[in-house]
Amino acid sequence: MQQASHVPRRPNRNPRRRAAAAFALMSAFTAPLASARAEDAAAEIRGALAQWTADFNAGRTDKVCDLFATEVRADVRGAPERDHTAICDVLVRSLKDETKHYSYAMDIKEVLVFGDVAVVRLVWTLTIMPKDGASIESVEPGMDIFRKQNDGSWRIIRYMAYER
């Protein structure tokens, strides 16, 4: 009876295969962590939007600019591009207008988080109630882009809104 000879296997020296295997292994362990972070970020962003809506509807002029980063740019149909100062001026002026009452409602369609950047697809409904007339409703689908700030908060850096 002949004894089977044992031939040692050559180690896999293909760097692409090793890199692919390492990536697959890392992904298996980090994907759930990344998913949990994205879910936490999405919840924080939803909370920030809800807080902004409450602040706006309560007429808190000292709070309505808190959601926007200093480098924000906004594109709203029918208006020139706005920076932080222009956005805040419009919001504060509207809330201080004693001839009308403004209120917002939001419908978040989705929040997509990519590390320190997030995209929110949503629809804002603005109701304008003049003191001496019928209310006007404006439905504004839009997209907000958030970036996580150094202080850990999420703020809007870009947004687009287009009235239907």
Q: Show me where the domains of the chain are located.
A: 35-161
Of the options 3.40.120.10, 3.40.1390.30, 3.10.450.50, 3.40.30.10, the CATH number for the domain spanning 35-161: 3.10.450.50
What pTM value is reported for the model? 0.77
Q: How far apart are CA 37 and CA 32, in angstroms?
A: 9
14 or 75: which carries more pLDDT confidence? Answer: 75
65 and 91 Cβ atoms separated by less than 8 Å: yes
Task: List pLDDT tens digits, range 18-67.
Answer: 777 666 656 665 555 556 788 999 999 999 999 999 999 999 999 999 99
Average pLDDT, the chain: 88
Give the pLDDT band (50/70/90) at residue 13.
low
Residue-level pLDDT at 74: 96
Residue-level pLDDT at 146: 98
With a cut of 80, say whether residue 6 has pLDDT above it.
no
Q: How far apart are CA 65 and CA 42, in angstroms?
A: 20
